[in-house]
C-alpha cells in the first residue's frame, strides 16, 4: 500500500483538492434529502416553497459542476501517475545490470510496464479519494439518519454491519485471484515475445499450434483467476444490494409503525427513506474502490519486484578520485586482465579463472575455444557487464575501479553475435554509438561495410525504419559493425557471427577490420577460419582458462585443442576458405 501510495508523491496537493471537491459534492448530496424534507414541511404548513426549491436547484447545479471538476482532475492525475511509473520502469530496466535484466524474458518485463501500470490509474488516485469520501458520506448519512430517528437508524446500522462483515470476508480472495491473473498475463507476454522472436524456428518445426497452445495456457489460467475474482465481486455486490433492500423494507415497516404511533413525522420518514436509498451509493463506492485498490496493490507488488533489478549505479563503486591522469605510455596495453576470475552467481562455478591477458594498443587478437569456454564472459568483464570475483582489469594501465563506466565504455565498441537492431531508423541505430555524427560520416562507415549503396537506394535512405524482418542477418551485422566503427573506438570487440556474409562482402568487411587493427585494438571472438589465420595473436580458451596463445601457425604446431578447433572451423564455418 505504501509503495502504491509512493507513486502519487508529486501530486498530493492535487489529490487533496480532489478529495475536498469530493467532500463538497458529497456534502451537497447529503443536504438534498434534508432540503426535500423542507419542501414537504412547507407544503404541509402552507409555507413558502420558493426558498427550499431554489436551494434544491442550487445543490443540483453546483453539485454537478463540482463533480465534473473533481473527475477531470482525478482522471488527469491518474494518467500522470501511470506515466510516471512507466517512465521510471523503462529507465530502470535500461539502467539495470545485464545479468539482472536478462534473467527475465523481455516480454514479461514489458507487460509490467504496459498492463500492470494501468491498474495504478484508479488505485493511486480515485480509489483513495473515493474511499475517504465514501466513509465520510456513510458516516454523515448515518448521523443525519440519527437526527431524523434513532430507532430507524438502529435498524439500518444492523443491516450495514452485516453487509460490511460479509464484504470483509470476500475481499481478500478477490485480491489474491487478481494477483494470480496478472502473474499469468505477465508470463503470457514473455512467452509470446519469445515465440515471435523464434517464429522461423517455430514454423520450420511445424509447431505453430503447439506453441500457441503453450502460450494460451497462461491466458486461460489468467481468465480462470479473473472469473474467480469476478464471481466473488458479483457475490459481494449482490449481498450489498440485498442488504440495503432489506434495510429499506425494515425501515418502511418500522417507520410506518412509528408514524402510526405519532412518534415520527411523514416528512422525516420520507427524508429517512431518501437517505436509506442513497446509502447504496457510498456502499457501492466503498466496494468499487476497495476492489480498485486491491488490483492496484497487486499490480504495485509486481512493479515493486522490478525494483530488485539492480542498476549499474547501485552495484558499481564510485570511481576512485585520482590526481591528474598522465597519458598512458605507448607500450602500455590498452586493456589488461590480471588473474581475473568471474562467476555468474555466488554459488556458480567460475566461468573464467585466473585469466591474464594484455591487449596492445594496436593489432588484432582472436579468442577461440569450445562452446562454454568463457569467451563471451571475457567480453562481459571487459565491458563491465559483469564484475570479476578475483583479479583486476586495467584500462591504459589503470585499474577499472579508477574509471567510471562511461569512461570505460566510451573507449570500447562492441558488436554482439546476434547483432540486435534497436527500435528506430537506420540513422537512429548508427547514431547510438556517436549521437552527433553527420549524415556524411554515417555514409562513410556504411560504405566501409558495403551498405552505402543499398541504403541510398531505399526511399527514405538513412531514415528508413529498421524492423526485425526488413534486414537480413548479414545486413544487421554490417549495420552493427558500422555503428561500432563510427565511434572510432580504442578497442573494437567483435563477437563474430558465423556464415552471415557472402564471400565478397566478408572480404570487404575483413579488410575494414584489418584497417581498424592498424590504428587501434581489435579483439574478436573468432568463429571463422579466415579470422584466425590473419590475426596477430590467437588466444585459446578452455574451461575458463587460457590454455595457449600465439600466432595461428605456432598454435597449429603446438596445441592439440587448437588444431581440433581449426579443423572444426574448416568443416563447419568456412569450408570455402580452406
Task: Determine the Cα–Cα distance for residues 418 and 198; give it in Å rounded to an integer.
Answer: 13
State the minimum distance, in angstroms, from the CB of residue 101 to ligand ATP.
Answer: 11
Which 77-116 positions form the footprint of ligand ATP (CB under 6 A)?
99
Nearer to ligand ATP, 98 or 256 (CB): 98
User: Could you write out the DSSP letters of every residue in 356-422?
Assistant: EEEE-SSEEEEEE-STTSSHHHHHHHHTTSS--SEEEEEETTEEGGGS-HHHHHHHEEEE-SS-PPP
Nearer to ligand ATP, 278 or 544 (CB): 544
Residue 152 CB neighbour total at 10 angstroms = 25
* 318-347 footprint of ligand ATP as x/- string (CB under 6 A): --------------------------x---
Nearer to ligand ATP, 372 or 511 (CB): 372
Q: Which of these segments, 275-283, 317-325, 369-377, 405-413, binds ligand ATP (CB under 6 A)? A: 369-377
Q: Which of these segments, 128-136, 198-206, 368-376, 569-577, binds ligand ATP (CB under 6 A)? A: 368-376
Nearer to ligand ATP, 63 or 544 (CB): 544
State the minimum distance, in angstroms, from the CB of residue 348 to ligand ATP.
Answer: 6
Binding test (CB under 6 A) with ligand ATP, winner from 375, 384, 434, 487:
375
Assign 354 to helix, strand or coil: strand
List the one residue out of 68, 106, 72, 71 whose CA is nearest residue 90: 106
State the minimum distance, in angstroms, from the CB of residue 378 to ligand ATP.
Answer: 7
List the one residue out of 360, 352, 407 whose CA is nearest residue 380: 352
Axis crossing angle, helix 280-305 with helix 106-114, rounded to the nearest 10: 150
State the minimum distance, in angstroms, from the CB of residue 493 to ligand ATP.
Answer: 12
User: Could you write out the DSSP letters of every residue in 450-507?
Assistant: T-HHHHHHSTTGGG-B--TTTS-HHHHHHHHHHHHHHT--SEEEEEPPSS-S-HHHHH
State the minimum distance, in angstroms, from the CB of residue 99 to ligand ATP.
Answer: 6
Task: Determine the Cα–Cα distance for residues 409 and 433; give it in Å rounded to an integer.
Answer: 10
Binding test (CB under 6 A) with ligand ATP, winner from 129, 202, 279, 373:
373
Nearer to ligand ATP, 376 or 410 (CB): 376
Nearer to ligand ATP, 278 or 374 (CB): 374
State the minimum distance, in angstroms, from the CB of residue 357 to ligand ATP.
Answer: 14
Task: Determine the Cα–Cα distance for residues 412 and 406; give it in Å rounded to an integer.
Answer: 10
Task: Determine the Cα–Cα distance for residues 390 and 387; give it in Å rounded to an integer.
Answer: 9
Strand partners, 412: 491
Nearer to ligand ATP, 205 or 372 (CB): 372
Nearer to ligand ATP, 197 or 362 (CB): 197
Nearer to ligand ATP, 371 or 469 (CB): 371
State the minimum distance, in angstroms, from the CB of residue 182 to ligand ATP.
Answer: 27
State the minimum distance, in angstroms, from the CB of residue 543 to ligand ATP.
Answer: 9
**Strand 363-368 to 537-542 pairing:** parallel
Nearer to ligand ATP, 534 or 543 (CB): 543
Nearer to ligand ATP, 30 or 109 (CB): 109
Angle at 208 between CA 205 and CA 209, to 5 degrees: 125
What is the side-by-side strand order in the sheet with 363-368?
412-415, 491-495, 521-525, 363-368, 537-542, 545-550
Task: Determine the Cα–Cα distance for residues 68 and 91; give it in Å rounded to an integer.
Answer: 35
Task: Determine the Cα–Cα distance for residues 228 and 231; give it in Å rounded to an integer.
Answer: 5
Residues in CB range of 556: below 8 A, 6 or more apart: 562, 563, 566
Q: Which of these segments, 64-72, 142-150, 364-372, 402-410, binds ligand ATP (CB under 6 A)? A: 364-372
Binding test (CB under 6 A) with ligand ATP, winner from 371, 467, 469, 576:
371
State the minimum distance, in angstroms, from the CB of residue 527 to ligand ATP.
Answer: 8
Size of the site for ligand ATP (CB under 6 A): 11
Cβ(297)–Cβ(122) under 8 Å?
Answer: no
CA distances for 444 relative to 333, 386, 438, 459, 485, angstroms = 29, 33, 10, 19, 10
Q: Is 377 in the site for ligand ATP (CB under 6 A)?
A: yes
Nearer to ligand ATP, 149 or 495 (CB): 495
Nearer to ligand ATP, 30 or 540 (CB): 540
**Strand 537-542 to 521-525 pairing:** unpaired
Task: Determine the Cα–Cα distance for residues 268 and 261; give it in Å rounded to an integer.
Answer: 14
Binding test (CB under 6 A) with ligand ATP, winner from 14, 67, 341, 376:
376
State the minimum distance, in angstroms, from the CB of residue 111 to ligand ATP.
Answer: 22
State the minimum distance, in angstroms, from the CB of residue 475 to ligand ATP.
Answer: 22
Residue 66 CB neighbour total at 10 angstroms = 19
Burial class (CB in 10 A: 0-12, 13-18, 19+), 217: middle
State the minimum distance, in angstroms, from the CB of residue 436 to ligand ATP.
Answer: 34
Q: Is 164 in the site for ligand ATP (CB under 6 A)?
A: no
Q: Which of these segments, 256-264, 282-290, 292-300, 367-375, binds ligand ATP (CB under 6 A)? A: 367-375
Q: Is the torsion defined by CA of 395, 397, 399, 404 positive or negative? A: negative
Q: Is 369 in the site for ligand ATP (CB under 6 A)?
A: yes
State the minimum distance, in angstroms, from the CB of residue 190 to ligand ATP.
Answer: 17
State the minimum distance, in angstroms, from the CB of residue 393 to ligand ATP.
Answer: 16
Task: Determine the Cα–Cα distance for residues 396 and 333; give it in Å rounded to an integer.
Answer: 6
Nearer to ligand ATP, 209 or 418 (CB): 418
Footprint on this chain of ligand ATP (rule: CB under 6 A) = 99, 344, 351, 369, 371-377
Amino acid at each position: 500500500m505504501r509503495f502504491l501510495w509512493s507513486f502519487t508523491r508529486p501530486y498530493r496537493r492535487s489529490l487533496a483538492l480532489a478529495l475536498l471537491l469530493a467532500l463538497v459534492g458529497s456534502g451537497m448530496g447529503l443536504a438534498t434529502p434534508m432540503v426535500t424534507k423542507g419542501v414537504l414541511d412547507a407544503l404541509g404548513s402552507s409555507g413558502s416553497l420558493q426558498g427550499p426549491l431554489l436551494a434544491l436547484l442550487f445543490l443540483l447545479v453546483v453539485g454537478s459542476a463540482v463533480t465534473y471538476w473533481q473527475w477531470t482532475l482525478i482522471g488527469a492525475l491518474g494518467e500522470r501517475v501511470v506515466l510516471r511509473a512507466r517512465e521510471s520502469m523503462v529507465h530502470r530496466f535500461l539502467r539495470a545490470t545485464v545479468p539482472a535484466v536478462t534473467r527475465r524474458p523481455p516480454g514479461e518485463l514489458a507487460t509490467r510496464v504496459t498492463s500492470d501500470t494501468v491498474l495504478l490509474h484508479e488505485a493511486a488516485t480515485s480509489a483513495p479519494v473515493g474511499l475517504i469520501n465514501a466513509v465520510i458520506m456513510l458516516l454523515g448519512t448515518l448521523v443525519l439518519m440519527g437526527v431524523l430517528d434513532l430507532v430507524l437508524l438502529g435498524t439500518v446500522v444492523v443491516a450495514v454491519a452485516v453487509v460490511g462483515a460479509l464484504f470483509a470476508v470476500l475481499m481478500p480472495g478477490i485480491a489474491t485471484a487478481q494477483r494470480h491473473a496478472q502473474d499469468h498475463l505477465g508470463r503470457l507476454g514473455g512467452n509470446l515475445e519469445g515465440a515471435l522472436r523464434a517464429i522461423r524456428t517455430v514454423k520450420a518445426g511445424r509447431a505453430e499450434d503447439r506453441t500457441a497452445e503453450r502460450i494460451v495456457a497462461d491466458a486461460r489460467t489468467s481468465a480462470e483467476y479473473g472469473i474467480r475474482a469476478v464471481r466473488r465481486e458479483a457475490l459481494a455486490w449482490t449481498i450489498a444490494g440485498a442488504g440495503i433492500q432489506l434495510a429499506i423494507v425494515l425501515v418502511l415497516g418500522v417507520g410506518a409503525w412509528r408514524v402510526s404511533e405519532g412518534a415520527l413525522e411523514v416528512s422525516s420518514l420520507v427524508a429517512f427513506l431518501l437517505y436509506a436509498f442513497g446509502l447504496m451509493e457510498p456502499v457501492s463506492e466503498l466496494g468499487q474502490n476497495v476492489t480498485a485498490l486491491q488490483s492496484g496493490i497487486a499490480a504495485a507488488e509486481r512493479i515493486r519486484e522490478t525494483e530488485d533489478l539492480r542498476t549499474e549505479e547501485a552495484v558499481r563503486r564510485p570511481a576512485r578520485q585520482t590526481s591528474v591522469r598522465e597519458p598512458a605510455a605507448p607500450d602500455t596495453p590498452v586493456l589488461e586482465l590480471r588473474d581475473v576470475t568471474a562467476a555468474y552467481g555466488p554459488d556458480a562455478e567460475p566461468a573464467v579463472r585466473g585469466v591474464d591477458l594484455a591487449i596492445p594498443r594496436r593489432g588484432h587478437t582472436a579468442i577461440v575455444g569450445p562452446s562454454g569456454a568463457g569467451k563471451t564472459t571475457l567480453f562481459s568483464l571487459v565491458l563491465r557487464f559483469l564484475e570479476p570475483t578475483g583479479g583486476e582489469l586495467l584500462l591504459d594501465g589503470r585499474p577499472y575501479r579508477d574509471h567510471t563506466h562511461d569512461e570505460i565504455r566510451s573507449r570500447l565498441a562492441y558488436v554482439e553475435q546476434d547483432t540486435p537492431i534497436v527500435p528506430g531508423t537506420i540513422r537512429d541505430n548508427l547514431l547510438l554509438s556517436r549521437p552527433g555524427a553527420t549524415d556524411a560520416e554515417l555514409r562513410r562507415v556504411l560504405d566501409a561495410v558495403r551498405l552505402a549503396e543499398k541504403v541510398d537506394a531505399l526511399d527514405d535512405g538513412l531514415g528508413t525504419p529498421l524492423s526485425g524482418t526488413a534486414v537480413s542477418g548479414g545486413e544487421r551485422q554490417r549495420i552493427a559493425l558500422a555503428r561500432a566503427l563510427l565511434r572510432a573506438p580504442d578497442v573494437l570487440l567483435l563477437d563474430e557471427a558465423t556464415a552471415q556474409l557472402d564471400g565478397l562482402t566478408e572480404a570487404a568487411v575483413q579488410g575494414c577490420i584489418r584497417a581498424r587493427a592498424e590504428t587501434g585494438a581489435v579483439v574478436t571472438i573468432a568463429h571463422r577460419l579466415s579470422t584466425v589465420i590473419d590475426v596477430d595473436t590467437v588466444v585459446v580458451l578452455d574451461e575458463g582458462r587460457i590454455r595457449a596463445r600465439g600466432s595461428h601457425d605456432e598454435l597449429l604446431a603446438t596445441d592439440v585443442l587448437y588444431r581440433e578447433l581449426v579443423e572444426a572451423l574448416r568443416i563447419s564455418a568456412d569450408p570455402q576458405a580452406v
